[in-house]
Amino acid sequence: MDSVVSEATAVAFGEPDEELKPWQTDRSRAPIATKIVVAGGFGVGKTTLVSAASEIQPLQTEALMTRASEDHDDLSATPDKLTTTVAMDFGRLTLDDDLVLYLFGTPGQQRFWFMWDDLVRGAIGAIVLADTRRLRDCFPALDYFESTGLPYIVAVNHFEGSERFEVEDVREALTVPPHIPVMIMDARRRISVIETLLALVGHALEVSPE
């Protein structure tokens, strides 16, 4: 596990690596394709995370907010939000020739939760995004992944103007078990997103080494 994550980190952040890896000399080896799900409440930054990490033009199913959604979508914390995901976000990130991540962002509103079972099928793990201004919005995602047994980590997307909290404070507020990684990150920054993705890959390998 450590070797996979360390190699991916070196490639992602441009760290020097003098020794050639097997995938650099044997081009017949196919890369490992992994599926990762990004979940969380409405307006927490799932689309932003996928867009920041993706090396291709991300697929987005964004629709304009309308008056019809005013009674269902709480915009108090995101008053400038004009669109919402109605199906999924999709992106791809190649960490090295042996590891390709396919990112699937779920819609956050309750009326779209029926699609989650299809979106998570075949995934190695999930990132549950949280906003400290409305932590209760991520409880449905936490409950879902706990019930399905899919490995997950919690990533607190720190928004400008919001109060910063320590990791352990967030863990206690969400009653996240000690073995589940909790991170503070910025979904707009690619490096921050990659660090979060690597944390999930490492956790998934620990939980399900096969």
- Three-state SS at 199: helix
Q: Report the chain's mean pLDDT, rounded to a whole number.
A: 78
The amino acid present at 57, given as its one-letter code, is Q
Q: Taking the CB of residue 4, how many other CB atoms lie within 10 A of it?
A: 17
pLDDT of res. 87: 52
Q: Which of 151, 166, 29 is nearest to 98 (CA)?
A: 29
Rounded CA separation 165/99 (Å): 33
Distances (CA, A) of 186 to 50, 97, 191: 12, 26, 9
Strands in 75-145 per DSSP E: 83-96, 99-105, 125-130
Residue 36: its pLDDT value, please? 96
Q: What digits encode the pLDDT tens for the residues 81-94?
A: 445 544 578 999 99
How many of the other CB atoms lie within 10 Å of CB of 94?
A: 15
For residues 40 and 80, which has the higher predicted lDDT (pLDDT)? 40
pLDDT above 50 for 14: no
pLDDT band at 28 (very low <50, low <70, confident <90, very high): low
Please tell me which residue, 95 or 122, carries the higher pLDDT value.
122
Tell me phi and psi for residue 58, to 5 degrees. Answer: -65, 145
Closest alpha carbon to 36 in 156, 142, 125, 138: 125
- Tell me how far apart the alpha carbons of residues 181 and 52 are, in angstroms, rounded to a whole number: 21
Q: How much is the average pLDDT of 58-65? A: 60
Residue with tokens 């400038």: 80
Helix (H, G, I), strand (E, B) or coil at 163: coil
Identity of the amino acid at 152: Y
pLDDT at 19 over 80: no
The yes-or-no verdict on residue 123 having pLDDT over 50 is yes
Reply yes or no on whether the pLDDT at 64 is more than 60: no
Q: Is the pLDDT of residue 114 over 90?
A: no
This prediction's pTM:
0.74
